[in-house]
Amino acid sequence: MEYDRATIVTLVFTAICIGSAIYVSWAAVNYLSLYPALGQIEQVTPYQVDNATFVQSPRGSTIAIDVTVTNPTTYSGLGLARVSLTLYFFNDTNSSDTIFYNPISLNASQPVGAPLGPNSADTVKLQVQLSPAQTSQLIDFNNTHQGQIMASVMLRVDLSTFLEPVTGTVIYTRTQDVPLDP
Is residue 165 exposed (0-12), middle (13-18) or buried (19+ Cβ within 10 Å)?
exposed
48-82: per-residue pLDDT in tens? 999 999 998 888 899 999 999 999 988 888 999 99
Which one has a higher pLDDT value, 65 or 32? 65
Backbone φ and ψ of 163, nearest 5°: -85, 0
Residue 71: count of CB within 10 angstroms of its CB: 25
Q: What percent of the chain has a predicted confidence (pLDDT) above 90? A: 42
Task: Name the packing angle between helices 5-32 and 34-44 (round to 10°).
Answer: 30
Residue 1 clears pLDDT 80, i.e. is over it: no
Which one has a higher pLDDT value, 96 or 102? 96
What are the residue boundaries of the structural domains of the chain, listed by start? Answer: 33-181
Residue 3 clears pLDDT 80, i.e. is over it: no
The answer to whether the beta carbons of residues 53 and 181 sit under 8 Å apart is yes
159-174: per-residue pLDDT in tens? 998 888 888 998 999 9
Cis peptide before 103 (omega within 30 of 0): yes
The answer to whether the beta carbons of residues 127 and 108 sit under 8 Å apart is yes
What per-residue confidence (pLDDT) applies to 50? 93
What per-residue confidence (pLDDT) applies to 103? 72
Which one has a higher pLDDT value, 94 or 153? 153
What per-residue confidence (pLDDT) applies to 6? 84
Domain 33-181 has CATH 1.10.3470: no
Q: Where are the alpha helices (DSSP H) in 33-163?
A: 34-44, 132-144
